[in-house]
């Protein structure tokens, strides 16, 4: 089916000439490469998501409603995206109308007393954080980084990250929503639905969070979210813009004695896991993540040296790896994670420091001294607080994706860490992926607010411009699923999380394949239930397979 000129004219009429295009060249800039990080799918060399039929830039909820109603009337697929990051935010079938939500980018309210903010889709974490800090509050920033849409993380995906420790997951923080349903009706959920403000997601007013989001978020496939409120958290730092210093790109921040950024290391994975448990029990720490290991166990300290040197380049990497001090620091932080300890008062800070010291004593852990050099400390602190360098995961060859991937009890992940690293190390020897030392696992040590679980993701970096590298990476991912995850009964690896929604050609996976995958999951009834929801709320099925369903009954 091709979208008719009449429909395109109507779309243009809704948003205005300036906010509409069907120029094929401009549409080309709304495609996404499956050759690099497709979170988590592929990679498939030289494959792109389908070109849309038109792009519209709505400016109001009313315009969104009109677009959605028109699409329903004409049975035209549509997909909304806020920042167009990862394949999930792009069409997976031809002739899709793309809603670029960029113009709806206002922070509508920051309620200091009730600790929430109301935002539109285009608000990214960096801007919300900058504004909330001015009133002593902070927002959770998902692991994808502060470039991501706050609303998208909360309504449409998962939102795990370093600040889970204080902020839980993004979806935990979702409160009231303004939702243009798949057929164009307007629903306000939670307290907003009762006309009482935006302070609650679960009432008074309709509690629709599970229905609207589905499992892991609906990823632009069940209508369009136009506003939402998210929880905010205390910020013990200055009520002002972050006092950033340093020369680009080695920015850093000194937040005084009530903020310390540590890299903690341990003699064994058991000790590592015990320490995280004790940190949760003690209730200390503000941010915690195994962050810089994303560069790889063997490369991380050399990369920190490069990134904290304004003149550093990747050409420095090989010589740095030969330096004795770099080798010593690298060895010192083999099993590590980063933690930011922060406090409102020095008394609280001293207590947290004392508790941390006791935890290290109990577990045999230590603070990595090389990471406490002032420039490195202040760089690391800024990195973790703002999460503004997350695209460094693409620094080597332009692409990465996560293999292995477990979300669960921290001991469980830790017990598999050595095996996962050894498995990857063998594949690194084949040459398709960056030789990083096998263990490039990273993730939050507080997978839930305050702790309770961890997330493990073994970063695998490759070159999206290189067919052999990209296809070799795909072979590795296939092997992870087949020879590592399946053999241990670990379920679907992160490398295949989105394989049910989009196939190797960039289009939606055929239904039979999807059904087979969903049937093989531990709880297929989840997808059956979602099928019923879609049938009721999205009768014309104008989203895509990212809202996952199983219709076998």
Token pair in block for residue 35: 């050759």
Of residues 523 through 542, those in contact with another protein by CB under 8 A are none
Supply the DSSP symbol for 467: H
Quick one: which H or E segment has residue 252?
strand 252-253
Compute the half-sphere exposure of residue 294: CA atoms within 13 Å on the CB side of its CA: 25
Of 82-90, 152-160, 344-352, 490-498: span binding another protein (CB under 8 A): 82-90
Residues near another protein (CB under 8 A), total: 80
User: By CB under 8 A, is residue 433 in contact with another protein?
Assistant: yes
Write the interaction track for another protein spanning residues 243-262; mark x where CB under 8 A is met and - where it is not. -x--xxx-x-x---------
* DSSP helix/strand/coil, 47: coil
Tokens 């607080």 belong to residue: 385
Contact 519, 59 (CB under 8 A): no
User: By CB under 8 A, is residue 163 in contact with another protein?
Assistant: no
Of 139-147, 209-217, 327-335, 448-456: span binding another protein (CB under 8 A): 139-147
User: By CB under 8 A, is residue 107 in contact with another protein?
Assistant: yes
What is the separation, in whole angstroms, between the first and last Cα of the chain?
29
User: By CB under 8 A, is residue 83 in contact with another protein?
Assistant: yes
456 Cβ partners below 8 Å, 6+ apart? 404, 405, 406, 407, 413, 416, 417, 420, 441, 443
User: By CB under 8 A, is residue 313 in contact with another protein?
Assistant: yes
How far is residue 285's CA from residue 167's CA, in Å, rounded to a whole number? 12
The nearer residue to another protein, 264 or 434, going by C-beta atoms, is 434
Q: At what angle do helices 346-363 and 269-282 cross, to 10 degrees?
A: 150
Which regions of 343-419 does DSSP assign to beta strands (E)? 366-367, 398-408
User: By CB under 8 A, is residue 24 in contact with another protein?
Assistant: yes
User: By CB under 8 A, is residue 340 in contact with another protein?
Assistant: no
CB of 496 to another protein, least distance (A): 20
Question: What sign does the CA torsion over 188, 194, 198, 202 have?
Answer: negative
Of residues 485 through 524, those in contact with another protein by CB under 8 A are none
CB of 284 to another protein, least distance (A): 26
Among 1, 9, 28, 325, binds another protein (CB under 8 A): 28
User: By CB under 8 A, is residue 366 in contact with another protein?
Assistant: no
CB of 53 to another protein, least distance (A): 15
Residue 452, CA distances (Å) to 243, 345, 360, 433, 446 in order: 33, 26, 19, 32, 6
User: By CB under 8 A, is residue 291 in contact with another protein?
Assistant: no
CB of 178 to another protein, least distance (A): 19
User: By CB under 8 A, is residue 194 in contact with another protein?
Assistant: no
Write the interaction track for another protein spanning residues 54-73; mark x where CB under 8 A is met and - where it is not. -x-x----------------
CB of 170 to another protein, least distance (A): 17
Of 69-77, 168-176, 239-247, 410-418: span binding another protein (CB under 8 A): 239-247
User: By CB under 8 A, is residue 274 in contact with another protein?
Assistant: no
Of 61-69, 79-87, 345-353, 416-424: span binding another protein (CB under 8 A): 79-87
User: By CB under 8 A, is residue 269 in contact with another protein?
Assistant: no
Of 185-193, 393-401, 440-448, 530-538: span binding another protein (CB under 8 A): 393-401
How far is residue 401's CA from residue 57's CA, in Å, rounded to a whole number? 30
User: By CB under 8 A, is residue 25 in contact with another protein?
Assistant: yes
User: By CB under 8 A, is residue 457 in contact with another protein?
Assistant: no
The nearer residue to another protein, 150 or 278, going by C-beta atoms, is 150
Tokens 């792109």 belong to residue: 48
Among 210, 234, 431, 539, binds another protein (CB under 8 A): 431
CB of 70 to another protein, least distance (A): 20
Contact 228, 170 (CB under 8 A): no
For the chain, the maximum distance between any two Cα atoms, rounded to a whole number of angstroms, is 72
Residue 342, CA distances (Å) to 94, 317, 371, 553 in order: 49, 32, 17, 53
Of residues 195 through 234, those in contact with another protein by CB under 8 A are none
Continuous H helices in 138-182: 150-156, 164-167
71 Cβ partners below 8 Å, 6+ apart? 77, 78, 97, 542
Determine phi and psi for 473, rounding to 5 degrees. Answer: -65, -40
Among 16, 75, 185, 241, binds another protein (CB under 8 A): 241
Among 188, 231, 389, 534, binds another protein (CB under 8 A): 389
The nearer residue to another protein, 463 or 515, going by C-beta atoms, is 463
How far is residue 445's CA from residue 453's CA, in Å, rounded to a whole number? 7
Of 1-9, 19-27, 199-207, 525-533: span binding another protein (CB under 8 A): 19-27
């Amino acid at each position: 089916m091709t979208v008719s000129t009449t429909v395109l004219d109507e779309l243009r009429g809704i948003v205005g000439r300036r906010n509409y295009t069907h120029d094929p060249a401009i549409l080309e800039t709304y495609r996404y490469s499956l050759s690099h990080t497709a979170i988590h799918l592929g990679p498939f060399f030289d494959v792109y998501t389908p070109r849309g039929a038109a792009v519209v830039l709505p400016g109001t909820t009313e315009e969104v409603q009109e677009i959605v109603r028109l699409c329903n009337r004409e049975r035209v697929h549509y997909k909304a995206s806020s920042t167009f990051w990862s394949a999930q935010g792009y069409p997976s079938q031809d002739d899709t109308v793309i809603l670029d939500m960029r113009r709806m980018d206002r922070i509508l309210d920051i309620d200091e007393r009730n600790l929430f903010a109301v935002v539109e889709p285009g608000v990214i974490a960096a801007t919300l954080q900058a504004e909330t800090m001015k009133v002593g509050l902070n927002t959770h920033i998902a692991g994808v980084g502060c470039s991501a849409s706050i609303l998208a993380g909360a309504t449409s995906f998962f939102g795990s990250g370093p600040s889970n420790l204080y902020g839980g997951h993004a979806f935990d923080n979702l409160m009231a929503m303004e939702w243009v349903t798949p057929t164009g009706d307007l629903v306000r959920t939670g307290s907003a639905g009762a006309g009482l403000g935006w302070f609650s997601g679960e009432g008074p007013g309709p509690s629709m969070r599970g229905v609207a989001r589905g499992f892991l978020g609906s990823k632009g496939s069940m209508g369009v979210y136009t506003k939402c409120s998210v929880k905010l958290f205390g910020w013990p730092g200055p009520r002002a813009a972050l006092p950033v210093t340093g020369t680009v790109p080695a920015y850093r921040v000194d937040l005084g004695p009530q903020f310390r950024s540590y890299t903690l290391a341990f003699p064994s994975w058991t000790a590592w896991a015990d320490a995280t448990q004790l940190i949760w029990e003690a209730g200390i720490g503000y941010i915690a993540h195994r962050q810089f290991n994303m560069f790889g166990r063997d490369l991380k300290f050399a990369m920190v040296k490069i990134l904290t040197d304004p003149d550093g380049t990747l050409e420095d990497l090989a010589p740095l790896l030969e330096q004795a001090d770099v080798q010593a620091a690298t060895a010192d932080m083999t099993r590590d994670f980063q933690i930011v300890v922060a406090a409102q008062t020095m008394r609280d800070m001293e207590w947290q420091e004392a508790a941390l010291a006791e935890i290290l004593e109990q577990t045999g852990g230590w603070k990595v001294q090389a990471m406490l050099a002032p420039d490195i400390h202040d760089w690391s602190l800024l990195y973790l607080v703002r999460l503004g360098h997350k695209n460094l995961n693409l620094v080597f060859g332009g692409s990465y994706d996560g293999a292995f991937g477990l979300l669960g009890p921290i001991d469980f992940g830790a017990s598999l860490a050595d095996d996962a690293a050894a498995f990857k190390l063998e594949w690194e020897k084949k040459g398709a992926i960056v030789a990083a030392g096998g263990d490039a696992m990273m993730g939050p040590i507080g997978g839930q607010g305050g702790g309770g679980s961890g997330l493990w993701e073994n970063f695998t970096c490759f070159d999206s411009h290189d067919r052999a590298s990209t296809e070799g990476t795909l072979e590795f991912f296939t092997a992870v699923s087949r020879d590592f995850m399946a053999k241990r009964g670990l379920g679907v690896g992160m490398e295949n999380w989105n394989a049910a929604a989009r196939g190797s050609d960039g289009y939606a996976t055929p239904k039979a394949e999807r059904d087979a995958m969903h049937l093989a999951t531990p709880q297929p009834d989840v997808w059956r239930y979602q099928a019923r929801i879609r049938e009721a709320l999205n009768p014309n099925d104008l989203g895509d397979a990212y809202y996952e369903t199983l219709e076998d009954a």
